[in-house]
């Protein structure tokens, strides 16, 4: 008999949060290197990232061979964090959770959704990464401040990053009062390059994976494992009984996965599958469109591949399918691709030309933050009136005509224009919001794909 949804179970999951004093202190490199070192030891490592980031998880996934999951209170809530954590950690020897920004940096200057907040929810010990470039004894004032700032958060150890020499290490060790778990020297040759949305994707640089050797040589892996195993049992929701829809043929939702479109929450893809879809990856850069009943195009870097996207045969096929009524859902980069054109680097490229808008890359950040709203405009009937939560982060704008139709009204966030998001044409919808899908939305999307399949619309 499967447990009811309201039953709470206890789970013993070795776990640790790798957090930093601030962005740029090296925590992503340290966390990824730790994952690689543990994998090299033979451990099964389940990776996580606090917050809405897509890029760091791509490195985790490559290193660990298991999809990295986001843990974000604003999008998932406390129950959602615990459920995703417990479900994804099954079969792992250790869960390594990389924090975002500084340990206590949350939404709009608050504690909410910070790495510290997630650590409290998961009762996870914290290893703090501190950058000691050009500092020695003074770093202990920083460590003491972090240790004492919130007594609900257990800072169980420190990894000192960018050690300059043996003498530098000795000067810091003179007054150590929080256990040192690592002394990592400066490694400028191992740094991963950045671009306007963050680090480059894992497919573009293997440096994070190779950093495992450095961590194995400079950090106390045995003590880190002991620390993770000492984490107390965690109360988690019992697994939800999933009812697979009784359909002979599951509708196929094609998911754009290539260098141009690579920003996806793994939970979204899992929810679509649980709602009854077959999730089929394809590449708008190089594939001809396979047989499918709906399309999901996530975010990414279409501006870097605009020429190839313009030349790809897939572009015209997607447009034809959309004009035939196939449900298409695009987010951020996917929205840009679904527009008529994309302006970048002084050139205009023709895109899928489904949505009545023109995407324009800008040098200035256009929007950054959490999004909350609802689908409420009947102009895109397949979505219904379900709620939407997510995040937006983009250096582009979409210029729409005065007759533009929008399916989403935001109570928090910028969207495409004036708090409106979800530009609509046919059964195609494109939004700047990177949504964390609800079960209700997934059921609507899968039902729309199934209905399109029944009409014989698949070609």
Q: Which residues are catalytic?
A: 332
- Name the DSSP class of 22: S
Q: Percentage helix, strand, coil, to 5, in the chain? A: 35, 30, 35
Question: DSSP secondary structure string, 71-103?
Answer: E-HHHHHHHHHHHHHHHHHTT-SEEEEE--SST
CA-to-CA dists, residue 395 to 309, 315, 339, 432, angstroms = 19, 23, 16, 11
Cross-strand partners of 17: 97, 126
Question: DSSP secondary structure string, 99-137?
Answer: --SSTT--GGGSSTTSHHHHHHHHT--EEEEEE-TT-ST
CB contact set of 418 (below 8 Å; sequence gap of 6+): none
SS3 letters for 342-399? EEECCEEEECCCCEEEEEEECCCCCEEEEEEEEECCCCCHHHCCCEEEEEEEECEEEE
């Amino acid at each position: 008999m499967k447990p009811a949804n309201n039953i709470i179970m206890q789970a013993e999951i070795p776990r640790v949060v790798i957090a930093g004093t601030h962005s740029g202190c090296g925590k992503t490199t340290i966390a990824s290197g730790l994952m690689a070192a543990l994998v090299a030891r033979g451990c099964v490592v389940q990776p996580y990232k606090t917050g809405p980031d897509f890029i760091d998880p791509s490195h985790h996934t490559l290193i660990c061979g298991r999809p990295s999951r986001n843990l974000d209170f604003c999008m998932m809530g406390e129950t959602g964090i615990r459920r995703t954590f417990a479900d994804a950690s099954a079969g792992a020897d250790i869960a390594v959770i990389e924090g975002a920004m500084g340990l206590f940096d949350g939404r709009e200057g608050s504690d909410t959704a910070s790495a510290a907040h997630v650590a409290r929810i998961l009762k996870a010990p914290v290893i703090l990464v501190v950058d000691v470039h050009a500092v020695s004894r003074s770093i202990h004032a920083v460590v003491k401040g972090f240790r004492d700032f919130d007594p609900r958060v257990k800072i169980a150890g420190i990894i000192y990053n960018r050690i300059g020499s043996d003498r530098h290490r000795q000067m810091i060790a003179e007054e150590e009062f929080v256990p040192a778990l690592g002394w990592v020297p400066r490694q400028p040759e191992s740094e991963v390059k950045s671009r306007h949305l963050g680090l480059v994707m894992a497919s573009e640089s293997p440096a994070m994976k190779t950093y495992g050797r450095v961590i194995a040589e400079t950090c106390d892996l045995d003590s880190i494992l002991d620390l993770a195993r000492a984490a107390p049992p965690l109360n988690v929701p019992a697994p939800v009984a999933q009812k697979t829809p009784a359909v002979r043929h599951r509708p196929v939702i094609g998911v754009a996965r290539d260098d141009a479109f690579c920003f996806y929450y793994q939970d979204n893809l899992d929810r679509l599958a649980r709602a009854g879809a077959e999730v089929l990856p394809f590449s708008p850069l190089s594939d001809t469109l396979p047989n499918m009943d709906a399309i999901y195009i996530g975010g990414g870097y279409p501006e870097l591949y605009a020429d190839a996207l313009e030349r790809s045969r897939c572009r015209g096929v997607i447009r034809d399918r959309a004009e035939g009524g196939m449900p298409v859902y695009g987010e951020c980069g996917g929205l840009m691709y679904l527009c008529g054109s994309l302006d970048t680097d002084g050139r205009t490229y023709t895109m899928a030309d489904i949505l009545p808008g023109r995407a324009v890359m800008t040098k200035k950040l256009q929007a950054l933050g959490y999004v909350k709203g609802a689908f409420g405009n009947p102009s895109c009937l397949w979505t219904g009136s379900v709620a939407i939560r997510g995040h937006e982060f983009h250096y582009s704008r979409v210029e729409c005509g005065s007759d533009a139709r929008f399916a989403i009204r935001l109570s928090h966030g910028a969207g495409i224009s004036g708090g409106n998001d979800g530009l609509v044409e046919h059964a195609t919808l494109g939004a700047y919001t990177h949504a964390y899908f609800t079960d209700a939305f997934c059921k609507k999307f899968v039902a729309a794909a199934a209905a399109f399949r029944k009409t014989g619309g698949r070609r």
